[in-house]
Amino acid sequence: MATSPATGLPRWEADPILIVEHLFMRFGGLIAVNDLSFKVGRGDITALIGPNGAGKTTVFNCITGFYKPSEGRLILAKGRAPTPDEIAEVTRIGERSLTGRDAGVYLLERMPDYLVSGEAHVARTFQNIRLFTGMTVLENLMVAQHNALMAASGYSLKGLFGLPGWTKAQRAATEKAKYWLDKVGLTDRADDPAGDLPYGAQRRLEIARAMCSEPILLCLDEPAAGLNPRESLELNTLLRAIRAEHGTSILLIEHDMSVVMEISDHVVVLDYGTKISDGTPEAVKNDPRVIAAYLGVDEDAIEEVEAELHTESSAPGASA
């Protein structure tokens, strides 16, 4: 299991790659995310689950820079877990990041969306697939390597004259795209428009495209939505392979419990913008608050649960 051998702590405590601290997101009077704190372990597959409207996608949008959080700190740790001093230092000096040779601390809430992907290397996919439908599968994967290729093409100057440095970079990028096409089983369709692919293949292509940007943290928003059971299984295999072969940590939102319980090392449960449970899949599965949030309970059960938890305010309202 995902525990650190040295300390016996779970990995997300011992070596977190992402630390979410007191995240608030307010839309006018609506509080979508309310004082959320959790950690994502390096090399873990972490699932963020919760009923519809719990604020999961809002958390994703905050992490990936599409929303600016109302309050809170989002720390991405590259290379190794940062010391509290390092975090305090980068927060104090007002910079977006503090990077050394093999480690770095990025404050994602200070970065615009394209830098979260381009500099901090956090890639994401979308709940409603966002491929470049009019471009071919291969082109989609080439666009994902934009920043690296842009530098290699001398910001278009070298590329315009077809200098060797550029053609070499382009060939390397094509090789990488081929590798990922192979990985998601789309090599035969490389030259077809992305919009022509069946739904499941589009989902896989979106993951491959995100991986082409060389992320250290991959955020997947409902990767199994709309997949049949066989495709869900293939997705599990793909995600495990990404983690094993590339060391990419994965944070995913998912409703399909067969995916969540099967592959995740760590599950965070959200309801009405607050965290109601956090732990291993087994622990979360048996948490009465999670069961209550998902299934709803009758009034007697609420009283029972309340008695059990010795809390008076955490149970959901009158009846579900």
- Is residue 210 part of the contact set for another protein (CB under 8 A)? yes
32, 270 Cβ separation under 8 angstroms: no
Tell me the pairing of strands 266-271 and 274-279: antiparallel
Residue 7 CB contacts under 8 Å (≥ 6 apart), including other chains = 14
8 Å CB contact between 219 and 60: yes
CA dist., res. 86 & res. 76, Å (int): 12
Q: Which of 14, 49, 138, 207 touches another protein (CB under 8 A)?
A: 138
Q: How far is the CB of 131 from another protein (least distance, A)?
A: 7
Alpha helices in the chain (DSSP H): 11-14, 56-63, 84-93, 113-118, 137-143, 146-152, 157-160, 164-183, 199-212, 229-246, 257-263, 281-285, 288-295, 299-309
Q: Does 195 engage in binding with another protein (CB under 8 A)?
A: yes
Q: Least distance to another protein from the beta carbon of 265, Å? A: 25
* 282 touches another protein (CB under 8 A): no
CB of 98 to another protein, least distance (A): 20
Binding region for another protein (CB under 8 A) out of 34-42, 187-195, 283-291, 312-320: 187-195
Distances (CA, A) of 307 to 288, 293, 299, 301, 310: 12, 17, 12, 10, 5
Q: How far is the CB of 111 from another protein (least distance, A)?
A: 11
- Is the Cβ–Cβ distance between 137 and 181 less than 8 Å? yes
Question: Of the candidates 98, 149, 225, 291, which one interacts with another protein according to CB under 8 A?
Answer: 149
Among 57, 58, 213, 264, binds another protein (CB under 8 A): 213
Q: Number of residues interacting with another protein: please give it, by CB under 8 A.
A: 46
**According to CB under 8 A, which one of 117, 236, 248, 277 is a site residue for another protein?**
117
Residue 179 touching another protein (CB under 8 A): no
Enter the tokens of residue 262. 């099967």
Nearer to another protein, 160 or 295 (CB): 160
The secondary structure of 97-130, three-state, reads: EEECCCCEEEEHHHCCHHHHHHCCCEEECCCCCC
Among 31, 98, 103, 150, binds another protein (CB under 8 A): 150
Closest to another protein by CB, 137 vs 315, is 137
Gyration radius (Cα) of the chain, Å: 21
Residue with tokens 């830098």: 115
Using CB under 8 A as the binding rule, whether residue 143 contacts another protein is answered as: yes
- Binds another protein (CB under 8 A): choice among 51, 79, 118, 288: 118
* Interface map 96-115 toward another protein (x if CB under 8 A): -----------------xxx
Compute the least distance from the CB of residue 132 to another protein, in Å.
Answer: 4
Task: Kindly indicate which of the ranges 138-146, 241-249, 259-267, 273-281 contains the residues binding another protein, using the contact rule CB under 8 A.
Answer: 138-146
3-state secondary structure of 5: coil
- For residue 38, give the H/E element and its range: strand 30-41
Binders of another protein among 261-280, rule CB under 8 A? none
Bridge partners (DSSP) of residue 269 are 49, 277
Out of 64, 248, 249, 277, name the contact with another protein by CB under 8 A: 64
- Which residues contact another protein (rule: CB under 8 A)? 64, 66, 113-115, 117-119, 123-124, 126, 130-136, 138-139, 142-147, 149-150, 153, 155-156, 159-160, 162, 174, 178, 187, 190-193, 195-196, 209-210, 213
